[in-house]
Amino acid sequence: MDDLLFVVFWIVPLCSVLVSADICFERSGFFTPNGNYDLNRRLMLASLPSLVTANDGFYTTSTGQEPNRVYGLGMCATGSDTRSCSDCIISSSARLLRNCTNQMEGIDWRMDRTLCLVRYSNRSFYGSLGMEILRSENYTRIFQDDMTDLDDEWEALMISLIDQASTLYYAAGRQKLESSISHVYGVVQCSRDLSLENCTHCLQQDVIEYRSCCRGRQGGIISRPSCFIRWEVYPFLALFDNIPPLDKDGKNISKGTIVAIVVAPVVLIALGFALWRRRKAYKAFTSDSGDDITTSGSLQFEFKAIEAATSNFHSNNKLGHGGFGEVYKGTLPNGAQVAVKRLSKKSGQGEEEFKNEVWRLWNNDSLLEMIDPAMEENYDRNEVFRCIHIALLCVQENPTDRPTMSTIFRMLTNTSITLHMPQPPGFVFRVRSKSNPLDERLQSGPSTSISITCVSPR
């Protein structure tokens, strides 16, 4: 009988934590059941499972026209498999339909083999920070081994997870407890329509909430419209199937570290091969031609070498005409093909401006000069500016300042994400040859100057 009571004692709090917490808000008003708003809500929720799984686990949408328009959001935890994500979204949507019978706004964080979020409203909430606590729940059972140890390791784990979530919106991990063989496991997740700054702020407030409500508790959940955390002293659901291994000190070895260990030698070999190929091509050219070459970000040649490469700027080699002058196809003695831009004197542009054309236009607030006039006004200026802004962030001189591909995707699909200001872009090759400065004949032509850019891998 005592054993049976012990089993029941553990099952009850466990089940209470696994229950989904849906919130039906009355602040936005009420709708008539089976009316236009209710119909749009049902249509939107029915479309979410397929849309979310087809779009990397996150999707925002709207259905209908004002005043019965419904805004919706669906999201699954990073790394969720398609089936688990779809099932979780379906279950969460069904729960909202069942419990929010006439409320115009509802939110549901759900754990059903994975973590997911479904949200709907009669107003656009994308990018808005929702900080009201939807759920603050914890075990009544106190951790018996060492409460101070649990608190210390819990905070260490959360600091690490929030740091990871500040770039990925999601993190899961574990931390070894010094006083026992146990670990504390944690998951943090932000709604991916937030800015990364707001994501960090929301999760930090959850840590503050833990300090006031839940110290020493073996597990619990704190959720808000914009973020969610859960911790336990056991691995819960399937969120820890691919957790990073522990090193000998009981610390997590991050996936980034593992990737760096494996990828770094491969990258170094690839870079070495690319440099060898570049040097080989460089030597082949200089051995076949007596013209001096200076490498300083882009290659520059004697005018007669350019004339030979382009067949004296023959019209058959003309590729087009840009704002800085005509562009020709050229073939070097080693067989390499290059694009040659012949700068007109009236453009007022020299080699330095040519090399920094986009950066100059950015600083002068003249980005529209880059747009093909043939497009006329058939484009969204804000989208153009944002794309160029993101492109400049991708070529920052310090690789750590460049966004990841997943971050770029979110930047392009979520205009609520704030972009930081770019610094001047980096250039790969800046080595100058020991030969004399560039022959003045490059500047002596009556109407043109020449610059060739050879694109090199970063």
Binding site for ATP: what residues are annotated?
Answer: 341
Q: Which structure tokens are listed for 381?
A: 């200026």
CA distance 50 to 57: 10
How crowded is residue 239: how many other Cβ atoms within 10 Å of its Cβ? 24
Contact 454, 429 (CB under 8 A): no
Partnered with residue 296 across adjacent β-strands are: 298
373 vs 92, 216, 391, 425, CA distance in Å?
Answer: 49, 65, 21, 26
First to last CA, the chain: 69
Q: Quickly count helices (H) and strands (E) in the chain.
A: 11, 16
**How much of the chain is in helix, strand and coil states, percent to nearest 5?**
40, 25, 35
* Amino acid letter for position 212: S
Instruction: Please enumerate, by residue number, every residue annotated as part of a binding site.
Output: 341
CA distance 356 to 96: 54
Q: Which residues contact 87 (CB under 8 A, 6 or more apart)?
A: 112, 113
How crowded is residue 125: how many other Cβ atoms within 10 Å of its Cβ? 22
- Backbone φ, ψ for residue 137 (5° rounding): -135, 140
CA distance 230 to 221: 4
382 vs 128, 134, 415, 453, CA distance in Å?
Answer: 20, 36, 10, 30
C-alpha torsion sign, points 350, 354, 360, 361: positive
